[in-house]
Amino acid sequence: MKTRHSHPAWSYFLAFFLLTAFVITSSMLLFLNYFARSAGVEFTRENLFTAAVVTFGNAVFLALICTVVDVLRRKVMVGRPVRAIVEAARRITGGDFTARINPRAAVGASEGFEEIVDCFNTMAAELSGVETLRTDFIANVSHELKTPLAVMQNYGTLLQSPDLTEERRVEYAKAITEQSRRLADLVTNILKLNRLENQQIYPAAKRYNLGEQLAECLLNFESTWEKKNIDIETDLEEDVFVESDDELLSLVWNNLFSNALKFTEPGGTVSVTMKIDGELAAVRVSDTGCGISPETGKHIFEKFYQGDTSHATQGNGLGLALVKRVVDIVGGDISVESEVGKGSTFTVKIRRAADGDLQETP
């Protein structure tokens, strides 16, 4: 990093001296000449020389005073804020994202130092937050990757046993397949979430029937609810159109349906309703599962957060983070109501398309 050196004090003195000497000498000589002519007195060369020397001395003295005042002013109003900014910048460059500039360091500073300090502290706070998120994200990803890999390694080792029965071999092979699928889903969700958070996915809005999309997404889980003997209840209003990105919203419905079926015990009930709420379409996905505590509800949309550890092997804590990000991108709203032991209800509200055009965009 290049260091810009300030001008030495003598350069300021020279500048003030030249300006002060020129102004004072010229003014003094004009004044003396006018005064002498008015009094009818002729100045000799010696008198003029003496006057010039005295004027020069006064100019030197005044220039020295101005130089000292200006150096002190710059040291307090410029030098101190600059040193504080440089020191904080060096700390951040060294990885210390807690560095901040005390606003009092810029008191009395000119040239917009107050604005620079405010912007610097805001930048440092943002960098600190990003660094914390990055560290947590790496730690969580590492943990989530290690779990399925460890399971796959263990079952792979067991498969090498020569006296393993065929039934056990199939069981272990299925476990490896399930963990590899979970690992693939984790990587896919991480990539999707990264693209969403970095705004590399832009909504491609089109008009379509929301009820039909919900029904199609729900039917994709037919084998799951039949296997667990879960009752499905639907109440979808007809001809409710939205103008949004259907692929992004399908991520929302698929994740909500998957979670509802996953946390509902065999013989339970999952219900999906869609009602018109003014200019909005309100979609509610309810289940009779284990429910979530109020503390878990505060963090339910955070990445890698899993409040129910008993179901941790069935997910990776990214599904609801994806849902929240997608809903934010399309301009919707999502909320959750839950009670431990009685189930949960997720409500997504999306703005409906204008009623004037009832034709679905192909």
**The pLDDT of residue 5:** 46
Higher pLDDT, 337 or 184: 337
Q: Is the pLDDT of residue 107 over 60?
A: no
Tokens describing residue 165: 């029965």
Q: How large is the average pLDDT for residues 346-359?
A: 76
Distance (Å, whole) CA 17 – CA 126:
48
Distance (Å, whole) CA 250 – CA 236:
16
Radius of gyration of the chain measured on its C-alpha atoms: 38
Single out the residue of 338, 307, 302, 294 nearest to residue 321, CA to CA: 302
Single out the residue of 214, 249, 246 nearest to residue 232, CA to CA: 214
- pLDDT band of residue 70 (cuts 50, 70, 90) is confident
Place of tokens 């999502």: 334
Distance (Å, whole) CA 120 – CA 114:
10
- 347, 272 contact by CB (below 8 A): no
DSSP state letter for 311: G
**Most confident region among 43-57, 101-115, 139-153, 328-342 by mean pLDDT:** 328-342
Distance (Å, whole) CA 153 – CA 141:
18
- 307, 299 contact by CB (below 8 A): yes
Give the global pTM. Answer: 0.52
Q: Give per-residue pLDDT as tens, 162-174.
A: 888 888 888 888 8
Q: Give per-residue pLDDT as tens, 243-264.
A: 988 887 888 898 899 889 988 9
Please tell me the least confidently modeled range out of 86-100, 107-121, 130-144, 313-327.
130-144
Single out the residue of 168, 220, 352 nearest to residue 278, CA to CA: 352
